[in-house]
Amino acid sequence: MESYLGATNGAFTVRFVSNFARVFIMILAAMSLARVSGADDEGPNVSSPTLGTWRLNLEESIAPQGVTFDPFVVVVGRADSVIDFAYTATGPDGQEHTFGFGSPADGIVRELPASGSKVGLKGAMIRLPSGSYESRLWTPSGRYENKFCQVVAGGLKQVCLATLTYPDGSVAFFKQVLDRVMADH
């Protein structure tokens, strides 16, 4: 039997691997304890970088070809194993179009409370190991949006990358940059 150091002493190899295994198991146990006491069981009062109010930055965002983004604001009130947010867009006609999500981030597709052009929207959210979320939205017309957002710039921006799949099977890519709205003092 050969050790990691090239020696052929079987007892040394077993002892070396055994000590390495003990350290590795202790590290895994510590990580498991941190995970058990953390992410999945977080309550609504645990701070998350996604909490707060976010406004679409039209200048830094890239809409799919032939599409114009309507300005919108998202208010995230909870972001742990449950995500709770409200989205409000203002259309070119000045009308507000809203939808919300207030459920576990478990991937189950749900009807979303909505108004305006957002009525009939269905969605699902999935919490990723990084703490970010995958958002999936389906419109009544059959359009599907799959979006991933990451908080960046010291918590001042969210960058969202997404695909939009149309009923005919064509796919478009888009990027949305959201700026954190700082509270007035």
Q: What is the pLDDT of residue 148?
A: 96
Q: Looking at the predicted structure, is the pLDDT value of residue 38 above 60?
A: no
Q: What is the pLDDT of residue 85?
A: 94
The one-letter amino acid code at 169 reads G
CB-CB contact of 171 with 163 (8 Å): yes
Q: What is the pLDDT of residue 116?
A: 85
CB-CB contact of 86 with 74 (8 Å): yes
Q: What is the pLDDT of residue 163?
A: 97
102-119: average pLDDT: 93
User: Which pTM does this prediction carry?
Assistant: 0.71
pLDDT digits (tens, 9 = 90+) for 40-53: 444 444 578 889 99
CB-CB contact of 153 with 140 (8 Å): no
Q: What is the pLDDT of residue 68?
A: 92
